[in-house]
Amino acid sequence: MEYTHKEIEERWQKYWAEKKTFAPKNDTSLPKYYVLDMFPYPSGAGLHVGHPLGYIASDIYSRYKRSQGFNVLHPMGYDSFGLPAEQYAIQTGQHPAVTTEQNIKRYREQLDKLGFSFDWDRQVKTSNPSYYKWTQWIFLQLFNSWYNPETDKAEAIETLIQKLEVGSWKIEGDKKWNELNEKEKSDVLMDSRIAYLGEAFVNWCPALGTVLANDEVKDGVSERGGYPVERKLMKQWSMRITDYAERLLTGLDTIDWSESIKESQRNWIGKSEGCSIRFALRHPELVSGSDNEMLKQVQHDENSIEVFTTRPDTLFGITFLTLAPEHELVSKITTEGNKQQVEAYLNYAKNRSERERQADVKKITGQFTGAYAIHPFTGKQIPVWVGDYVLAGYGTGAVMAVPGGDQRDWSFAKHFSLPIIPVIEGSDIDKEANESKEGKMINSDFLNGLQVKEAIKKIITEIENRGLGKGKINFRLRDAAFGRQRYWGEPIPIYYKDGIPYAVDEKDLPVVLPEVDKFLPTEDGEPPLARAKDWKYQGQYDYESTTMPGWAGSSWYYLRYMDPHNDKEFVSKAAADYWKDVDFYLGGSEHATGHLLYVRFWTKFLKDRGFISIEEPAKKLVNQGMIQGFSAKINYLVSEERKGNAPLTEFNTAPINGKIELIKNLSIKGTYDFAEIFLSADAAEGLHKQFNDYEMEWNKIPSKSHIWNIPIEYVNNDGSLNINLFCEWLPKLEKTRKNAIFICKGGYWRNNDFCSFNSGESDKFFIKQEPEKMSKSKWNVVNPDELVEKYGADTLRMYEMFLGPLEQSKPWNTNGITGVSGFLKKFWKLYLNVSEEKASQAELKVLHKTIKKITDDIEKLSFNTCVSTFMICVNELSDLKCNKREILEPLVVLIAPLAPHIAEELWNKFGHTESVTFAKWPEYKEEHTVENSFSYPVSFNGKTRFFQELDVALSKEDVEKEVMALEQTQKYLEGKQPKKVIVVHKKIVNIVV
RNA sequence: GCGGAUGUGGCGUAAUGGCAGCCGCGCCAGACUUAGGAUCUGGUGCCGAAAGGCGUGGGGGUUCGAGUCCCUUCAUCCGCACCA
């Protein structure tokens, strides 16, 4: 009987769905295990072969855990709010809810075909009001909370109000809480709320018409779409994630996450320890007298400059201060004489986009303000500069410049000819700054002679004693922008009364996303929600019109899966207490500083407020490697001189160079009316060889080489192009077959005819293939559907695992899939004629060896070696012609996590009426794998020469005796006396001569 | 610049400090076939006719023994980056 994957897979997928096989048991006495895949965004492109890699791995692990007796929660759902659907809506006018639903449907069909053991009854969609009701509810908790530094956790805002009422929490300007009006009270509280409305510099993306969070911006452009981003001061809902910076950092040490993710988060949080120092200012026009007198006079000046430094030990090396162009003091302190230049500079700095600024890091710019600060220890005057190498958003937006100890300060000083003082012995300040934290202090008054680390301690104490500043910890992490000027997201449950924001009452949740006529901003620049007609809270108050960012819904979804249908709470206490946290979380590393930071933040917050009991959302996290696609690249030649369809002869008369010669050699002469010349990859290779500097030559001639990505499906297995298919596609690029010529090594193709000029050489047109990220725009997406159709889900599952270690990125290549497909056929064949006979020793040995290896490997998530272990096992059992139930039945249970359909089918054939899902995992019995003898490799000076079979019971001494007595040993000794004989039991014999 | 990861046959890869290359692809030969992108058998790191020698990016070290441990260096990929 043949292995018919299609029929078998459909049958069991249906069975699982009907019997709800994968719903966790409602029995809290069972040990729990929670396996979660990162929330997918249902993109319009559907699933490609890279997506299932992680899902397959987590599915194998889930099924394995079920077989081990765990109550497994393994859910799936959709992060269904987001920008792409909305961009599509803007283009087509279709409601994003409609396209999102279509995409989800397609995703689901594709997922279903792969035989995943998800409990679909728990599916959540973030765009569903029954889900986002609770996202909004959590927002309200965040709004109604503040971070109490004394208890080091978030508390209800009421506890802050109490402190304000009794005056134990100070309000800026020493005002009294009870004397404040409604607006002022709101403002005061807003300064502490964890979700707050505040004015801040944000990443504004004009093309997308919205603000983006820091992690959504890469290299100065938006991560989605690659549109330019600019800094803009805006009133904006934000999350005070910075209050959690320290806990987010230390928490990393408690979780088993990949080192690279933890490191990314550490970098992102960017903790640095140092101290703040206040520099008094001196206006030359205003103050006169000796340096020391001035110091006293200006000590308490409001307009002092506060800096943050991690190297207070270098304080005596300060030769100037630099302010960020955005620093508020710049305009206040600039002297009349410098006003013009400084203003011009500020204007220049302002108009440089973030991208430009980042791109030309090396360009040093700045201006002297004319103002001086006073060195707090020496009393000397220090010029104050403004420079855009200082970032407004970090620290205080001002630095004390120590060109002797900081390379950026050094470069600035060199550029503007400012003095440089070495402060560490042995610094060669003519060449570069000495940033080392090792060495002895010099030129530093009372710090002289101290080691850097001692000096840091001493100076901080001194600074604190003199009241100039204090030891301080600074974080790079910024508060997260939470409002998006977009339509397709959760409405923020806030309304405005007399311009004051208030929380929507819990009983009025969800605030449902209103219908709008267009998904665009209003004429006066308000977000799309402002278009909604008659959308008022309690019929009279304006709602907040920004929506939440994509990460809102995904910051707590793992909790909702525990209790997805609860309409009283976001998760019941009982469910949260049982399922606690995610035991095994699998997903891509691209979420390192976005989702994975926010989900930790919300988890900590929800714990602080007593809603859940865990501090971290996921104990263990693994990043599956990215599966890249193979892009097909074609060499495409255009002569710039040959405009339009000008004849090729013109091209031929160009100066002699590589390509012209080639074209000549290929004898394509005369006048042709083709315009597109495509060059086979092997012909292009030839050019490389022929002319050393092909690329350079290429640029000299009046033609241009272009490389195009073309659809990968037009490439044959041998790497050659299917020219016919390709030509049918050409019109999409406004090119035609008629105008195209394909040059191969042995001739050229034109209009379906091959013209040979070099007989014996290939007439194939080769395409260069390169691995790249799979993306629709690169035409290299391979989707799993066809593979499932052809080979079956079990084969695809095993093949994806067989590709290599889970965490390693690799290009997708279908070449090896026949090996796995053949394996499953061979596996199936073992079961054609099962006998009840007792198994032989040899057969039992194979089985138990396999049980041990598979169990160990699944535990280690080493799924690639699992597949090869099964192959070895099946090869060996086939050689033994094994058909014993005693062997084959446990083997079914063993393979079920990887190839669940075939396993169910065979399990069923054994007469079981229950799913193999809950069959007990086979137990490894060592007695079946022990050997009586071992074939010792006998080596001389570490080089293996022959093997000797010996009883394992023999002691080391006996082994040595036996081996030394051998004729072969004597032969290799060549009459010499061995210096030493090393015997490792059941491993090796090494004779040192 | 900082951090992370990876370097092993033609390719994907495998090896608790103990026979390097398991398993699969590809390739070669053969069997069965009208046929093979089906199935089965055998072979396949490199050099060499063979004996044998050489081999895990390079160089050094520890060890009886190193792909594996240590030092150093190179290359590739990924992340972060004017963070004071």
Token pair for A176: 């009294």
Average pLDDT over residues A7-31: 94
Looking at residue A32, what is its pLDDT? Answer: 97
Looking at residue A284, what is its pLDDT? Answer: 52
Looking at residue A690, what is its pLDDT? Answer: 38
Residue A303 included in any domain: yes
- Which DSSP letter does residue A498 get? T
Provide the CA A683 to C1' B49 distance, Å, integer. Answer: 38
Q: Regarding predicted confidence, which is higher, A607 or A262?
A: A607
Q: How far apart are the first and last CA of chain A?
A: 61
Provide the CA A943 to C1' B17 distance, Å, integer. Answer: 15
What is the complex's ipTM, to 2 decimals? 0.93
Nearest nt to A275, CA vs C1'? Answer: B84
Is the predicted pLDDT of residue A300 greater than 50, yes or no? no
Looking at residue A693, what is its pLDDT? Answer: 34
- For chain A, give the mean pLDDT: 84
Token pair for A362: 């090396």
Is the predicted pLDDT of residue A133 greater than 80, yes or no? yes
Nucleotides of B under 7 A from a protein CB: 3-6, 11-16, 18-20, 22-26, 38-41, 64-66, 77-84
The mean-pLDDT minimum among A126-130, A679-683, A828-832 falls in A679-683
Average pLDDT over residues A693-706: 41
Looking at residue A726, what is its pLDDT? Answer: 83
Nearest nt to A397, CA vs C1'? Answer: B84
Q: A607 pLDDT band (50/70/90 cuts)?
A: very high
Nearest nt to A360, CA vs C1'? Answer: B82
Token pair for A311: 């190297």
Q: Residue closest to B79, CA→C1'?
A: A264
Looking at residue A746, what is its pLDDT? Answer: 66
Provide the CA A532 to C1' B79 distance, Å, integer. Answer: 42
Verify if strand B has an atom below 7 Å from the CB of A822.
Answer: yes
Domain that holds residue A180: 153-248+479-543
Average pLDDT over residues A577-595: 90
Q: Which of residues 214-243 of A touch strand B (CB under 7 A)?
A: 218
Same domain as A483, residue A467:
no
Q: Which of residues 279-338 of A touch strand B (CB under 7 A)?
A: 308-311, 324
Nearest nt to A412, CA vs C1'? Answer: B82
Name the 3-class secondary structure at A581: coil
Same domain as A239, residue A164:
yes
Contact assessment for residue A588 and residue A55, using Cβ atoms and an 8 Å cutoff:
no
Verify if strand B has an atom below 7 Å from the CB of A949.
Answer: no
Nearest nt to A474, CA vs C1'? Answer: B83
Q: A638 pLDDT band (50/70/90 cuts)?
A: low
Is the predicted pLDDT of residue A659 greater than 60, yes or no? no
DSSP codes of every residue in A325-361? TT-THHHHH--HHHHHHHHHHHHHHHHS-HHHHHHTT
Is the predicted pLDDT of residue A512 greater than 90, yes or no? yes
CATH number for the domain that contains residue A117: 3.40.50.620
Provide the CA A596 to C1' B78 distance, Å, integer. Answer: 18
Verify if strand B has an atom below 7 Å from the CB of A708.
Answer: no
Is the predicted pLDDT of residue A282 greater than 60, yes or no? yes
Pairing type for strands A620-623 and A584-587 reads parallel
Q: Which of residues 52-91 of A touch strand B (CB under 7 A)?
A: none
Looking at residue A745, what is its pLDDT? Answer: 67
Verify if strand B has an atom below 7 Å from the CB of A589.
Answer: yes
Same domain as A484, residue A471:
no
Provide the CA A851 to C1' B33 distance, Å, integer. Answer: 39
Q: Which of residues 475-504 of A touch strand B (CB under 7 A)?
A: 476
Same domain as A458, residue A328:
yes
> Where is the domain boundary, A873, A888, A922?
A922
Give chain A's length: 993
Handedness of CA A218, A220, A221, A222 (dihedral sign): positive
Q: Count CB atoms within 10 A of the CB of residue A299.
A: 15
Q: A115 pLDDT band (50/70/90 cuts)?
A: very high
Looking at residue A361, what is its pLDDT? Answer: 66
Verify if strand B has an atom below 7 Å from the CB of A823.
Answer: yes
Is the predicted pLDDT of residue A604 greater than 70, yes or no? yes
Looking at residue A657, what is its pLDDT? Answer: 32
Residue A257 included in any domain: no
Is the predicted pLDDT of residue A702 greater than 50, yes or no? no
Q: Residue closest to B2, CA→C1'?
A: A267
Q: Which of residues 18-47 of A touch strand B (CB under 7 A)?
A: none
Same domain as A422, residue A304:
yes
- CA–CA gap between residue A592 and residue A597 (Å, rounded): 7
- CA–CA gap between residue A135 and residue A144 (Å, rounded): 14
Is the omega angle on the peptide bond into residue A510 within 30 degrees of 0, that is, cis?
A: yes
Verify if strand B has an atom below 7 Å from the CB of A374.
Answer: no
Same domain as A942, residue A893:
no
Q: A759 pLDDT band (50/70/90 cuts)?
A: low
Nearest nt to A352, CA vs C1'? Answer: B82
- CA–CA gap between residue A857 and residue A926 (Å, rounded): 17
Provide the CA A788 to C1' B15 distance, Å, integer. Answer: 32
DSSP codes of every residue in A113-141? TTT----GGG--BTTSHHHHHHHHHHHHH
Provide the CA A988 to C1' B59 distance, Å, integer. Answer: 30
Provide the CA A791 to C1' B39 distance, Å, integer. Answer: 17
Contact assessment for residue A277 and residue A304, using Cβ atoms and an 8 Å cutoff:
no
The mean-pLDDT minimum among A167-176, A261-270, A543-552, A732-741 falls in A732-741
The mean-pLDDT minimum among A279-283, A704-708, A949-953, A983-987 falls in A704-708
Q: Which of residues 397-456 of A touch strand B (CB under 7 A)?
A: 397, 399-400, 406, 408
Same domain as A749, residue A633:
yes
Q: A653 pLDDT band (50/70/90 cuts)?
A: very low
Nearest nt to A259, CA vs C1'? Answer: B4
Provide the CA A941 to C1' B61 distance, Å, integer. Answer: 19
Same domain as A588, residue A573:
yes
Same domain as A826, residue A714:
no
> Where is the domain boundary, A543, A565, A583?
A543
Residue A817 included in any domain: yes
Q: A333 pLDDT band (50/70/90 cuts)?
A: confident
- CA–CA gap between residue A242 and residue A96 (Å, rounded): 33
Residue A835 included in any domain: yes
Looking at residue A98, what is its pLDDT? Answer: 93
CATH number for the domain that contains residue A298: 3.90.740.10
**Chain-centre distance of CA A884, in angstroms?**
48
Token pair for A667: 């004898």
Is the predicted pLDDT of residue A285 greater than 60, yes or no? no
Nearest nt to A986, CA vs C1'? Answer: B18
Verify if strand B has an atom below 7 Å from the CB of A808.
Answer: yes
Provide the CA A395 to C1' B82 distance, Å, integer. Answer: 14
Q: A355 pLDDT band (50/70/90 cuts)?
A: low
Residue among A332, A385, A325, A396 nearest A357 (CA): A325
The mean-pLDDT minimum among A444-453, A611-620, A645-654, A803-812 falls in A645-654
Residue A253 included in any domain: no
Q: A962 pLDDT band (50/70/90 cuts)?
A: confident
Contact assessment for residue A282 and residue A372, using Cβ atoms and an 8 Å cutoff:
yes
Same domain as A42, residue A28:
yes
Q: A799 pLDDT band (50/70/90 cuts)?
A: very high
Provide the CA A441 to C1' B14 distance, Å, integer. Answer: 55
Burial class (CB in 10 A: 0-12, 13-18, 19+), A629: buried
Task: Say how many domains are in chain A.
Answer: 6
Burial class (CB in 10 A: 0-12, 13-18, 19+), A134: buried
Provide the CA A872 to C1' B41 distance, Å, integer. Answer: 18
Looking at residue A961, what is its pLDDT? Answer: 86
State the helix-helix crossing angle for A900-909 and A885-895, rounded to 10 degrees: 150
- CA–CA gap between residue A70 and residue A151 (Å, rounded): 38
Residue among A524, A542, A526, A539 nearest A487 (CA): A526
Average pLDDT over residues A768-775: 74
Nearest nt to A399, CA vs C1'? Answer: B84
- CA–CA gap between residue A736 and residue A752 (Å, rounded): 13
Looking at residue A651, what is its pLDDT? Answer: 33
The amino acid at A992: V
Is the predicted pLDDT of residue A37 greater than 50, yes or no? yes
The amino acid at A284: P
Residue A80 included in any domain: yes
Q: A105 pLDDT band (50/70/90 cuts)?
A: very high
Provide the CA A410 to C1' B80 distance, Å, integer. Answer: 23
Is the predicted pLDDT of residue A913 greater than 90, yes or no? yes
- CA–CA gap between residue A792 and residue A4 (Å, rounded): 9
CATH number for the domain that contains residue A950: 3.10.20.590
Looking at residue A535, what is its pLDDT? Answer: 94
Is the predicted pLDDT of residue A926 greater than 50, yes or no? yes
Contact assessment for residue A211 and residue A234, using Cβ atoms and an 8 Å cutoff:
yes
Residue A718 included in any domain: yes
Average pLDDT over residues A924-932: 87
Same domain as A574, residue A635:
no
Average pLDDT over residues A403-429: 88
CATH number for the domain that contains residue A817: 1.10.730.10
Could you tell me what percent of chain A has a pLDDT over 70?
88
**Chain-centre distance of CA A512, in angstroms?**
32
Residue A259 included in any domain: no
Same domain as A348, residue A240:
no
Average pLDDT over residues A813-825: 90
The mean-pLDDT minimum among A120-134, A660-674, A737-751 falls in A660-674
Q: Residue closest to B3, CA→C1'?
A: A263
Question: For A540-594, where are the alpha helices, taking DSSP H only?
Answer: 551-554, 557-560, 573-579
> Where is the domain boundary, A778, A812, A834?
A778
What does residue A7 show for φ and ψ, rounded to 5 degrees?
-65, -45
CA dist A583 → A15, A33, A34, A330, A911 (Å): 28, 6, 5, 52, 34
The amino acid at A920: K
Q: Which of residues 531-550 of A touch strand B (CB under 7 A)?
A: none
pLDDT tens per residue, range A843-874: 999 999 999 999 999 999 999 999 999 999 99
Verify if strand B has an atom below 7 Å from the CB of A592.
Answer: yes
